[in-house]
């Protein structure tokens, strides 16, 4: 039995019945796609996910890649290699590449629907297979030379890494000390040590191209302090002649150790030393321009969406595994007959507390899926306008606003629900290796950490995506949510119009607005002389706002789904479809009634925030 339980029915429902994605199929760069083809692609990838990808999820956790300190190489298990091969052979990566780089372009909404399946079934394989996708950045930002390298990365399926973190530069990327020295032939010698690098070394591909942030030295106008002084260098593991594709000697970049981690053990995370053993680590400056952090953020933005999607994919499978167990496991009597010691024992799905837990998981997983696919549908707008040589500014801003929510809120909610609810449903059996939950919980923890911790996502959301944006994207989103609430006004049955739930959403929207207003007040007062410390009040609430906004968006999207489902329930349905739509309505109502009211307390907490915790001496902690 596959560990991975997908929910393609919900994906198709969200994509087409709620978000109307047919709209973008058959249009512009996606003129060759229609709904049937899109569904066929998803169905094929779903099969791959549940079979060849899922097959090695557990075994590669138990026998992770091995580092040989003598040769400084990493060996990935043979079985895992098969999953990796199957993933590349599926061509799923091509959905994300432009046609001129060997891709078969598709709308981001379809890409992220597909990625959920791949990330949920075998996230490590997905990470190793990122090379052809990363080639896109070279293709977009690079010189002719870089573009040739990009083509090789795609044609020869080379791996790639994103290399930012150093021992003293994690969240604070701008503290990085790795340097790059210009050479007379136009290349650069990179010197320094990076740590925690995903796919740093392995034997899955003939070459690995490292995309490295380093600080150029002795170059006028470049290499200053902070992130703006960083440039992006392409440092291949093996030297390569980009004209012929021929590999040369070994470049001076070596993995010096692998981390022993809590989870995602199949994904090799290594320390990378550049130019430390006497051989220079030769690199090229991407695009021959010193614009490293901006170039790297093209990858980071993608990777933040990816990490959020990985998190919810795991939660969804965790929930469906828990549901299957709850339908089989017999334990205890029905609560209504508990006084009768001879009452028949029932499956645990009969117990109110198990139902509470299952519905919390279902609403969480389906709400987060809707958040990912809604964000991806905004990316459809961005990509479509770009393909016409235009920029849909409003869509760009809205996507920017939603990215920290997908990554930060998505990963936090997923990890907590996986641990407190999905694993819990199994009782002690959840804690042992017979079921995938113990691995899910270990593997999903990383999602709140890499690609910027939750704290970083909260700050990004408030300072960059709200304050710096002057609230435009947030205003646009609020108008959309308010529009949906108002669309239910007027005569008609309150039941079918979700009247009570609209009121709950209205209150939640106002509460989230209240949190924003309190924070804007604090950020404004911090501008006044002597009030600089008021910015701490903001810092105490950024994570709270991230979570509150996520709740509002998920609540809204679930309710939009419930509205569609209610309409379908009025039609003739086969029993499975009827049950599906009933479940959609139930999950949305559950979320509105049990999650959204909590935002009122969050607003009060935000409004009452003071500086006492900042005034407290460290010794008192
Ligand atoms: C990691 C990898 O953890 C883990 C998973 C491995 C995944 C590998 C495979 C992934 C698949 C990849 C496929 C690729 C496909 C690509 C397709 C794409 C075509 N948005 O605020 P400032 C920029 S890796 C955009 O002053 P500080 C911007 O240029 C490690 N840009 O920051 C800005 O200039 P301006 C991950 C942003 O105080 C400039 O930065 N590590 C954004 O200097 C400076 O901004 C982290 O994520 C943004 N949201 O530095 C580090 N924000 O303002 C987390 C900034 O003029 N730390 N820029 O526009 C942070 O993010 C910090 O906030 C900081 C602060 C470093 C940005
Ligand atoms: P720190 O930055 O030291 O943070 C410690 C704590 O302090 C966190 O809770 C953080 O939220 C908080 N904190 C820090 N600064 C602030 C602040 N200004 N305000 C509020 N709170 C703050 N990096 C790469 O470059 N490439 C990779 O491929 C890669 N893969 C990884 C794979 C794994 C398995 C792991 C564990 C890490 C990986 N990373 C990678 C590194 C990862 O991105 C960093 O670990 C992450 O950005 C956090 O940095 P740090 O670990 O140094 O924590």
pLDDT tens by residue, 275-309 = 999 999 999 999 999 999 999 999 999 999 999 99
Q: What pLDDT, on the 0 to 100 scale, is given for residue 490?
A: 72
Query: Would you say residue 107 has pLDDT above 90?
Result: yes
| Mean pLDDT on 327-354 | 97
* pLDDT bracket for residue 221 (50, 70, 90): confident
Contacts of 47 (CB under 8 A, 6+ apart): none
Please tell me the predicted confidence (pLDDT) of residue 94: 96
Full DSSP string of 542-559: HHHHHHHHHHHHHHHHHH
d(CA 239, CA 245): 10
pLDDT at res. 521: 98
Ligand nearest to the CA of 263: 2
The pLDDT value given to residue 497: 83
Q: Model confidence over 384-393: pLDDT tens digits?
A: 999 999 999 9
From 197, 232, 408, 450, give the residue whose CB has the most ligand 2 atoms within 8 Å, as the site to mutate.
450
The average confidence (pLDDT) of the chain is: 97
The confidence score (pLDDT) of residue 495 equals 63
The protein residue whose alpha carbon is closest to atom 6 in ligand 1 is 198
Q: Tell me which residue of 276, 298, 278, 294 sits closest to 178, measured CA to CA.
A: 276
Q: Within 63-107, where are the H helices?
A: 78-89
pLDDT digits (tens, 9 = 90+) for 436-482: 999 999 999 999 999 999 999 999 999 999 999 999 999 999 999 99
Whole-Å CA distances, 357 to 14, 313, 319: 23, 18, 10
pLDDT at residue 46 tops 90: yes
Beta bridge partners of 274: 192, 253
Whole-model pTM? 0.98
Q: Residues in the chain, how many?
A: 621
Cβ < 6 A, ligand 1 pocket: 127, 130, 133-134, 136-137, 162, 164-165, 171, 173-174, 198, 226-227, 293-294, 297-303, 306, 450-452, 456, 460, 464
Domain boundaries, the chain: 158-290, 470-611
Whole-number pLDDT of residue 1: 82
Cα 563 to averaged position of ligand 2 atoms, centre (Å): 40
Share of the chain above pLDDT 90, in %: 97
Residue 491 pLDDT exceeds 90: no
Statement: residue 493 has pLDDT above 90: no
Q: To the nearest whole percent, how much of the chain has pLDDT over 70? A: 99
Measured N-to-C along each axis, helices 292-328 and 437-445 cross at an angle, to the nearest 10 degrees, of 160
Q: Which CATH entry fits the domain spanning 158-290: 2.40.110.20, 3.30.1740.10, 3.90.180.10, 3.40.50.300?
A: 2.40.110.20
Q: How far apart are CA 307 and CA 417, in angstroms?
A: 16
Pick from 18, 3, 2: which is nearest to 587 by CA?
A: 18
| Residue 93 pLDDT exceeds 80 | yes
Based on the number of CB atoms within 10 Å of its own CB, is 225 exposed (0-12), middle (13-18) or buried (19 or more)? exposed
Catalytic residues: 451
Helices (H), 244-351: 292-328
Mean pLDDT of 116-131: 98
Distance (Å, whole) CA 558 – CA 513: 20
- The gap between the terminal CA atoms of the chain, to the nearest Å, is 48
ipTM comes to 0.99
pLDDT of 492 strictly over 90: no
What confidence tens digit (pLDDT) does each residue in 157-191 have? 999 999 999 999 999 999 999 999 999 999 999 99
Crossing angle for the helix pair 292-328 and 393-404, to the nearest 10 degrees: 60
């Amino acid at each position: 039995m596959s560990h991975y339980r997908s929910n393609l029915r919900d994906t198709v429902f969200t994509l087409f019945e709620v978000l109307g994605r047919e709209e973008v199929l058959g249009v512009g760069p996606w003129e060759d796609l229609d709904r049937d083809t899109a569904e066929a692609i998803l169905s094929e990838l779903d099969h791959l996910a549940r079979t060849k990808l899922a097959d090695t999820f557990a075994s590669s956790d138990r026998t992770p890649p091995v580092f040989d300190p003598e040769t400084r190489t990493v060996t990935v298990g043979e079985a895992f290699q098969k999953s990796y091969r199957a993933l590349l052979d599926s061509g799923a990566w091509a959905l994300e590449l432009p046609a001129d780089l060997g891709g078969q372009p598709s709308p981001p909404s379809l890409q992220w629907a597909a990625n959920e399946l791949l990330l949920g079934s075998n996230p490590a394989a997905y990470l190793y297979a990122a090379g052809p996708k990363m080639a896109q950045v070279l293709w977009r930002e690079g010189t002719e030379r870089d573009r040739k390298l990009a083509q090789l990365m795609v044609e020869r399926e080379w791996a790639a890494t994103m290399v930012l973190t150093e021992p003293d530069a994690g969240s604070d990327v701008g503290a990085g000390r790795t340097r790059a020295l210009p050479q007379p032939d136009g290349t650069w010698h990179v010197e320094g040590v990076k740590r925690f690098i995903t796919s740093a070394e392995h034997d899955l591909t003939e070459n690995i191209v490292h995309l490295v942030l380093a600080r150029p030295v002795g170059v006028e106008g470049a290499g200053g302090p902070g992130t703006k002084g960083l440039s992006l260098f392409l440092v291949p593991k093996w030297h390569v002649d980009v004209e012929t594709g021929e590999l040369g000697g070994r470049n001076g970049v070596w993995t010096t150790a692998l981390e022993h981690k809590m989870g995602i053990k199949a994904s090799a995370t290594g320390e990378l030393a550049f130019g430390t053993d006497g051989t220079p680590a030769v690199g090229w400056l991407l695009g021959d321009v010193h614009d490293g952090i901006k170039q790297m953020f093209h990858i980071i933005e993608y990777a933040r969406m990816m990490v959020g999607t990985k998190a919810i994919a795991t939660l969804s499978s965790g929930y469906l595994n828990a549901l299957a167990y709850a339908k089989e496991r017999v334990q205890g009597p029905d609560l209504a007959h508990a006084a009768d010691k001879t009452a028949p024992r029932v499956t645990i799905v009969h117990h109110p507390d198990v139902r509470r837990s299952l519905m919390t998981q279902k609403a969480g997983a389906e709400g987060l899926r809707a958040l990912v696919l809604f964000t991806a549908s905004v990316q459809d707008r961005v990509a479509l306008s770009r393909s016409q040589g235009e920029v849909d500014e409003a869509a760009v801003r809205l996507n920017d606003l939603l990215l920290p929510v997908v990554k930060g809120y998505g990963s936090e909610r997923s990890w907590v629900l996986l641990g407190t609810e999905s694993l819990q449903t199994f009782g002690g059996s959840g804690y042992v290796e017979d079921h995938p939950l113990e691995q899910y919980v270990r593997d999903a923890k990383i999602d709140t950490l890499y690609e910027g911790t939750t704290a970083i996502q909260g700050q990004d959301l408030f300072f960059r995506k709200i304050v710096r944006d002057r609230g435009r994207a947030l205003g646009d989103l609020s108008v959309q949510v308010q529009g949906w609430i108002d669309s239910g006004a007027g005569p008609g049955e309150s039941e079918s119009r979700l009247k009570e739930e609209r009121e709950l959403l209205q209150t939640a929207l106002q509460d989230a607005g209240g949190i924003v207003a309190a924070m804007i007040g604090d950020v404004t007062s911090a501008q006044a002389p002597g009030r600089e410390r008021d910015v701490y009040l903001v810092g105490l609430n950024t994570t709270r706002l991230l979570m509150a906004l996520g709740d509002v968006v998920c609540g809204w999207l679930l309710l939009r789904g419930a509205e569609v489902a209610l309409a379908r329930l009025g039609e003739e349905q086969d029993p499975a479809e009827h049950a599906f739509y009933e479940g959609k309505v139930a999950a949305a109502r559950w979320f509105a009634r049990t999650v959204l009211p909590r935002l009122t307390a969050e607003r009060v907490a935000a409004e009452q925030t003071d500086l006492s915790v900042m005034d407290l001496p460290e010794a008192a902690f």
